Every structure is written in structure tokens, then in C-alpha cells.
Amino acid sequence: MATLGWVTDAVRPGAGNDAIPAAPLPAPPPSAPDTRHLTPPVEAQALRILVAEDEALIRLDLIEMLAESGYQVSGQASDGQAAVEMCRAEPPDVVVMDVKMPVMDGISAAAIREGLAPVVMLTAFSDKNLVERARDAGVMAYVVKPFTIDDLRPAIHIARSRWLELRALSREVADLGERFETRRAVDRAKGILMTKLRLSEPDAFRWIQKTAMDRRLGMREVAAAVIHGLPADTHGDAGKEPSAP
């Protein structure tokens, strides 16, 4: 593989976030890339939350908790079917949904919501089978009851970030098998960037996404360049200079 100097220039060991744009980019192409689809920072958004919980007191407490933390509660539902219908009518940014509800349970509702919004599942149980069922239904994060806003807030932002990543990958790669391989490469590259630059997971993904758009490459190509040009630390050798690609 040819040496990709822009990777090692851009990702310097010990560099901070300001080093991300340090790599010398080529002159902008005649038609600048459309950046409207870049994944926005989740933290910068006033997220709209749909709450689905069958127990009225818990639902009201949850709505108050979210509102006090700056979220906008766009709707509330007392069963899974109502949550699906509300999501179809006006997709929220995130659905916070209880796992056990009448008419349709949370996992079934998550499975048929047609990818309209990421789901954070609330559950009183923490068993492997439940987690696997929730994952297979497309749930992005789950929180075990009882919880506080400090438990819920990171789950909401992780769910939203992962969902936006999946949407970006879906737009770029139509084939399901190719999408899986791209996702795996991007996840590995994110890990390297997070380790070397101490970036958050969303920031690492946006670096890959923006670099791909700037250089007219696919995200899988950029991920491969990061992987081969800046190997991940192994066997506890974090902090050492990476070997030249």
C-alpha cells in the first residue's frame, strides 16, 4: 500500500483536537463537496424526545427530568403501538421507551419503527437475552431502572450519534454486506483516532466523514488509510510513536 502521508500528518501522537485539520489538503475542487450531510455534533442540538412509558407517574417524572435538562419532549405515549404511530407522524430525534408496555412491547415497537429515530430502551432487567433482543431490534442504547438524568443523558447522545453514523454509512454504501465491512473498518479507525487524539467517538467519526468528503474518497478508504497509516496500540504500548506506513 502506498504511503499516505496525510494520515500521519493529520494524526500526530500527542496532538490535541486542533491537530485534526493540520494535514495540508489539496486545492478545493471546482465544485466544492456538499457538506449538508455531515454528521452534526449531537451536543449542539436541542434534541426532541418521544417518551413511551405505560406507568403514568414514571412517564411524568421522566418528562420533567428531560425538560429540566434542556431536552424538548415532542410527545408521550403509554404503549408501544401509540409510540410507533407518533414516530411515523412526526419523527423525533430520539425515542426513550420502556421495554414492557401494553398493546405492543418496547422491543417489538423498536423493531418496526422503520429506522425513523434511534431508541433508548428503559428496563428493570439487565440480562443477556434482553440485551441481545434489543440489539437485534435496532435499539441503540439501554438504561436500567432506577436511573438518574446522569445515566440517561449519555445514553441519549450515544444512541443519536450511532444512529447518525448508520444513516451516513447507508447513504454511502447501498450493499448490506459492503456496509457491514465499511462499518467495521470505520469503527476500527475511530478507535485509533480516539486513542491517538483523545477524541470522543462522534468527533472521530466526523473526522473520517469530513476527510472523505474533502478528498473525494469513501469513508472505508479513509478508515483503511488510518488503520494502515497509524496502527492501533497493542499490548499496552499506548503513547509510543507509530511506525511509518
Averaged pLDDT score across all residues of the chain = 75
Q: The domain 43-162: what is its CATH number?
A: 3.40.50.2300
SS3 76: strand
Predicted confidence (pLDDT) per residue in 98-131, tens digit: 988 999 988 888 887 667 889 999 988 777 777 7
Predicted confidence (pLDDT) per residue in 181-238, tens digit: 888 888 888 888 888 888 888 888 888 888 888 888 888 888 888 888 754 443 333 3
The domains of the chain are located at 43-162, 173-233
Share of the chain above pLDDT 70, in %: 70
pLDDT value of position 173: 62
Predicted confidence (pLDDT) per residue in 39-83, tens digit: 444 453 589 999 999 999 999 999 999 999 999 999 999 999 999
Separation between Cα atoms, residue 200 and residue 205, nearest integer Å: 9
Helix (H) or strand (E) holding 168: helix 149-172
Query: In this structure, are strands 119-123 and 141-144 parallel, antiparallel, or unpaired?
Result: parallel
Q: Using an 8 Å Cβ cutoff, are 94 and 49 in contact?
A: yes
pLDDT value of position 234: 34
Domain 173-233 class, CATH top level: mainly alpha
pLDDT value of position 230: 57
Please count the residues of the chain: 245
Q: What is the pTM of this model?
A: 0.58
